[in-house]
Amino acid sequence: MQVIMTDRSSIPQHVAIIMDGNGRWAQQLGKERYEGHIAGVESVRASVRAAVRNGVKYLTLYAFSTENWGRPQQEVEAIMELFCRSVISEVEELRRQGVRVVVIGRRSRFSERVREHLESIERQTSDGDKLTLVLAFDYSSRSEIVAGVQTLARRVAAGELSADDIDEQTISDALYTASIPDPDIIVRSGGECRLSNFLLWQASYAELYFPTVLWPDFGEEQFDAAVEEFARRDRRYGLVNDKKL
Ligand code: IPE
Ligand code: IPE
Ligand code: MG
């Protein structure tokens, strides 16, 4: 029997995914764009299962960007409705798998109904200890940084913090992701090679991976491929890898 040894350090602790390509998937099949978003929920389920199975501790999913509010109203409403319905349909299974859901982003623009669903999933899954599923919803990295800088400026003005004491950790702690480690790998489905305002501060040493598969076709196999790709990367953090000298 062949035993495959897995090096724990080769498993990313935090995988972040830009779930892109729902619209193109739908258009290719002659469907409405929102049908692509509905189909994408199955890929979210598959990614959560694969993350738990691989021992990944944090999975961040970019579900709706601040810029996405500018899409046709019908599409935005369909996404909000899908979010509320998914909260209700998925909560039991998430609890069963030990998944804790945390939502990052600005909450003030959501309707009362969306806000309630968002708070409800966070509350109902708060004791999950296998995987933290971070949903970036009305998220943009630049607005997150602006909010964080405002918080720090207020603390300096109030005399609670000295400007000279602001370091990288202080800034990390002022972001929505304060208690979440930086992503080890950022995956973007759909083939576009850009970050679209996602985790710009946190991504400083993340590996980047851009599979061409559209999000509704992304399954456990594609998640495993991302984990395998990560294991092949040589993270040097600006140093030299003496094992290869
Ligand atoms: C990603 O898929 C989902 C959201 C941005 C909400 P898209 O809707 O951007 O799909 P494409 O990129 O147009 O195919
Ligand atoms: C990024 O995808 C946002 C999400 C996946 C939620 P977009 O489709 O909005 O990004 P661009 O327009 O291609 O940069
Ligand atoms: Mg897109």
Question: Ligand 2 centre from 161 Cα, in Å?
Answer: 36
Cα distance between residue 26 and residue 49, in whole Å = 24
Active site positions, annotated: 20, 68
Question: Ligand 1 centre from 170 Cα, in Å?
Answer: 33
**What mean pLDDT do residues 220-233 have?**
98
Check whether 6 has a pLDDT greater than 80. Answer: no
Tokens of 44: 């979210």
**What mean pLDDT do residues 232-245 have?**
86
Reported pTM: 0.96
Is the distance from the beta carbon of residue 16 to the nearest atom of ligand 2 less than 6 Å?
no
Of all ligands present, the nearest one to the C-alpha of 26 is: 1
Confidence of residue 241 (pLDDT cuts 50, 70, 90): confident
Mean residue pLDDT across the chain: 95
Is the distance from the beta carbon of residue 65 to the nearest atom of ligand 2 less than 6 Å?
yes
Q: Rounded to the nearest 5°, which phi and psi values hold at 104?
A: -115, 145
Ligand 2 closest atom vs CA 18? 5
Domain boundaries, the chain: 10-139+183-231
Question: Ligand 1 centre from 24 Cα, in Å?
Answer: 7
Give pLDDT, residue 1.
46
How far apart, in Å, are the Cα atoms of 240 and each of 152, 205, 244, 245?
35, 15, 9, 8
Is the distance from the beta carbon of residue 218 to the nearest atom of ligand 1 less than 6 Å?
no
Question: Ligand 1 centre from 96 Cα, in Å?
Answer: 29
**What mean pLDDT do residues 33-48 have?**
98
Ligand 1 closest atom vs CA 79? 6
Cα distance between residue 102 and residue 128, in whole Å = 11
Report CA 47 to chain centroid distance, whole Å: 11
CA-based nearest residue to 132, from 213, 72, 52, 223:
52
Instruction: Tell me the pLDDT tens digit for each residue of 145-158.
Output: 999 999 999 999 99
How far apart, in Å, are the Cα atoms of 27 and each of 1, 37, 68, 74?
47, 12, 18, 16
**What mean pLDDT do residues 13-23 have?**
98
The CATH number corresponding to 10-139+183-231 among 3.30.360.10, 3.40.1180.10, 3.40.50.720, 2.60.40.10 equals 3.40.1180.10
Is the distance from the beta carbon of residue 19 to the nearest atom of ligand 1 less than 6 Å?
yes
Identify the helix (H) or strand (E) that includes residue 17: strand 14-18
Confidence of residue 7 (pLDDT cuts 50, 70, 90): low
**What mean pLDDT do residues 113-140 have?**
98
